[in-house]
């Protein structure tokens, strides 16, 4: 059952963490990602933050763009097709897999997980993508600017120009592709959590059996902790009544902890589904298989 937090003039929020509720809300035509500044104070502040942070050249990044945005939907479908491992086109190179497998194994000379994962994702958008401490820090800034609970930190990132510079750097590296900025600045953090989990599993020899590959991958697919919707009109939802401007938090991370499933992790089957839903488990699998295949003594180059 959803939980409402309503203080007149201050906040109007609905939160859902049960899988059936999330699916019902995600399909509800009254909820969208138009993110108009309306409703009580905190709602407006949260919406303004999304609008200020998750945009490129005045346009919202695809993960916060409205349902009826035809360009978003077209790009989502094109990217989904391009990232389909079944299509037969290589989605990663040898250097990428070796670096990630080395980072999972903690091999001497292996790069840190964050930049290695960012580079793997970045190369989907720019074949020559090279992650650096700067590009990884930029991803941290973008993520903090949208997720921090500290309004002073949010204001500092904005006013100091760090947010603008970080977004510019991320955008330049993917040749200005908005999906690439989302992927290398925001989505990559979910992937890194997965590789961190993989690193923990690596320490337990029982998981290193080829028979355990699928079970390992399942444990390493992490959903975003939450995604946001805004009611565009009043009405009754599966989690109670909403007014125009009510913010609805779909707590994917909590739902996934109870029952894993691609409909929760990637919103599969929904208009907002992640175009990397097939790519992510395939990459995790390729990295794990490499990690368990290389002899213990081998270092990464
Ligand atoms: C563990 C990794 C990932 C997870 C769990 C994940 C999950 C999700 C989810 C749940 C959404 C829907 C957001 C919403 O409904 O508001 C989404 C959207 C999106 N994701 Fe991912 N994602 C991951 C990695 C990636 C990667 C690697 C890419 C690109 C290469 C990517 C590209 C996108 C894009 C472009 C959207 C926006 C789709 C649209 O509505 O047009 N994601 N992702």
Nearest-CA neighbor of 131 among 103, 105, 164? 103
Atom of ligand 1 nearest to the CA of 191: 1
* Atom 33 in ligand 1: residue holding the nearest Cα: 274
**pTM of the entire predicted model:** 0.95
The pLDDT tens digits of the residues spanning 215-241 come to: 999 999 999 999 999 999 999 999 999
pLDDT at 294: 76
pLDDT at 297: 57
- Paired strand residues for 247: 13, 230
* Atom 5 in ligand 1: residue holding the nearest Cα: 223
The domain segmentation of the chain, as residue ranges, is 38-229+275-293
Distances (CA, A) of 282 to 147, 167, 224, 235: 28, 28, 18, 40
Where the chain has pLDDT below 70, the residues are 1, 296-301
Residues with CB under 6 A from ligand 1: 62-63, 72, 76, 79, 121, 124, 179, 182-183, 187, 190-191, 194, 222-224, 227, 252, 265-267, 272, 274-276, 280
pLDDT at 298: 54
The pLDDT tens digits of the residues spanning 177-212 come to: 999 999 999 999 999 999 999 999 999 999 999 999
pLDDT at 301: 40
The radius of gyration computed from the CA coordinates of the chain, to the nearest angstrom, equals: 20
Atom of ligand 1 nearest to the CA of 65: 40
Distances (CA, A) of 81 to 65, 75, 213: 20, 10, 25
Asked if 290 and 98 count as a contact pair (C-beta separation under 8 A), the reply is yes
pLDDT at 196: 98
pLDDT at 260: 87
pLDDT at 72: 97
Whose structure tokens read 């180059």?
301
- CA 125: distance to chain centroid? 16
């Amino acid at each position: 059952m959803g939980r409402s937090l309503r203080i007149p003039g201050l906040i109007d929020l609905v939160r859902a963490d049960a899988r059936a509720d999330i699916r019902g809300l995600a399909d509800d035509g009254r909820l969208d990602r138009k993110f108009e500044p309306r409703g009580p104070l905190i709602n407006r502040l949260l919406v303004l933050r999304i609008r200020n942070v998750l945009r490129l050249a005045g346009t919202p990044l695809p993960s916060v763009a409205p349902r009826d945005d035809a360009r978003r939907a077209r790009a989502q479908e094109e990217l989904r097709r391009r990232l389909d491992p079944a299509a037969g086109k290589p989605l990663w190179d040898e250097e990428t897999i070796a670096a990630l497998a080395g980072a999972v194994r903690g091999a001497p000379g292996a790069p840190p997980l964050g930049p290695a994962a960012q580079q793997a994702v970045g190369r989907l958008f720019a074949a020559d993508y090279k992650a650096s401490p700067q590009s990884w820090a930029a991803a941290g800034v973008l993520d903090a600017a949208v997720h921090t609970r500290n309004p002073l930190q949010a204001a500092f990132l904005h006013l100091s120009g760090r947010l603008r510079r970080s977004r510019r750097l991320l955008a330049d590296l993917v040749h200005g592709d908005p999906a690439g900025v989302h992927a290398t600045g925001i989505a990559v953090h979910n992937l890194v959590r997965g590789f961190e989990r993989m690193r923990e599993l690596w320490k337990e020899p029982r998981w290193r059996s080829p028979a355990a590959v699928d079970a390992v991958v399942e444990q390493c697919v992490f959903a975003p902790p939450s995604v946001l919707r805004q009611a565009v009109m009043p009405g009754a939802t599966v989690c109670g009544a909403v007014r125009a401007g009510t913010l609805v938090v779909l707590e994917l991370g909590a739902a996934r902890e109870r029952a894993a499933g691609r409909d929760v992790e990637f919103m599969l089957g929904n208009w907002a589904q992640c175009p990397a839903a097939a790519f992510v488990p395939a990459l995790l699998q390729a990295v794990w298989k490499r990690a368990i295949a290389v002899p213990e003594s081998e270092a990464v180059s």
